[in-house]
Amino acid sequence: MQRSTVDAATPPQAPPAGIVFDYQLGGGYAPAAGVGGVVRDSTDEPAEGLYSVCYVNGFQTQPADRDDWLDEHPDLVLHSDGEPLVDENWPDELILDTSTADKRQRIAARLADTLDRCASAGFDAIEIDNLDSYTRSDGRLGQDDAVALATLYAQQAHAAGLAIGQKNSAELGARGRDDAGFDFAVAEECHRWNECALYTEVWGELVIDIEYTDDLRGDFDDLCADPQVPASTILRDRDLTTPSDPGYRFAACGITEAE
C-alpha cells in the first residue's frame, strides 16, 4: 500500500496545520465528515486519503508484548527491588529501562520493525507514546534518557519517510523539537490541565489535543472558544470506543458533534 498522503520517496511531512483529527486507538472506523486525519494503532491500517498517524508505545511495553520483553530482553525492563516496574495507571504495561546508551539502542532496535510496519502500511507519521515514563520511574530515569531514546526514534522514523509526534510531556518545552527532532505534538487534556500554551508556544498549530468526556473542564463549546486551545482539538470518550459502542463520543472544534 502506498502512503496515504505522502509518497515514500518524499521527506516526512508534518500534519497540515489545524486539520481535524479523530483519535481511533480503540479500532479504526470511517471518520466523520470534516475529519482530515486519524491516529490509529500500529496494528491497524491508515485511513485512505487522510493524514494517518501510527500509534507506537515506545517507552513502555504493550500488554500483549509484556511476556516477550521479560523472556527475551529482561534487562531492558526497569526493575524495582527485583520486580518489573509497572505504570500504575496502566498496570499491564512495564516501563522500559532507558538509562544507558546501550539499552536505548537495543530498545530502538526492538521497535524498529513496528516503525517499519507503520511505513509499509501507508501511514504518514508515528505518535510515540509514554515519553514521560521517566516521571513514573521512582527516580531511576531522567528526562535526558527519554530525549535520547526519542532522538533514536525520530531518526528511525525520518529514515522510513515518517514524521514523528511528541506525545504529551509539555515540560520538555522546545527540547522535543530542537533536541529530539519531533515534527509535531499530540497532547492529551492540555485544556484540562491548563497546558495548551506550553505546546502552542513551541509548535504553533502543529498540536493535536484530545480532551475526554469524563474529565472535561467546562463546556466543550466554551473550550473551543478559548484562544489558547489548539485548532486541532477533539473530544473523545476515555475508552476510545468505536461508533457501535453506546459509550462512543466524538466532537471536534469546528465541526458538529457526532454521537
Q: Write down all domains in the chain, each with its CATH number in brackets.
A: 21-258 (3.20.20.70)
What is the model's pLDDT at position 88?
85
What is the model's pLDDT at position 254?
78
Residues 189, 191, 193, CA angle at the centre, nearest 5°?
70
Q: What is the pTM of this model?
A: 0.93
Average pLDDT over residues 122-143: 96
What is the model's pLDDT at position 256?
55
Query: Which residues sit opposite 54 in a β-bridge?
Result: 40, 126
Q: Which among 178, 167, 183 has a CA at the least distance from the CA of 51?
A: 183
Q: What percent of the chain has pLDDT over 90?
A: 91
Indicate the average pLDDT of the chain: 93
State yes or no: pLDDT of 259 exceeds 80.
Answer: no
Q: What is the DSSP string of 116-162?
A: HHHHHHT-SEEEEE-GGGGGGSTTSS-HHHHHHHHHHHHHHHHHTT-
Among 11-20, 179-188, 206-215, whose mean pLDDT is lowest? 11-20
What is the band of 258 on the pLDDT scale with cuts at 50, 70, 90? very low
What does the block give as the cell for 59?
Answer: 517507552
What is the model's pLDDT at position 110?
96
State yes or no: pLDDT of 11 exceeds 90.
Answer: no
The conformation of residue 238, written as its DSSP 8-state character, comes to T
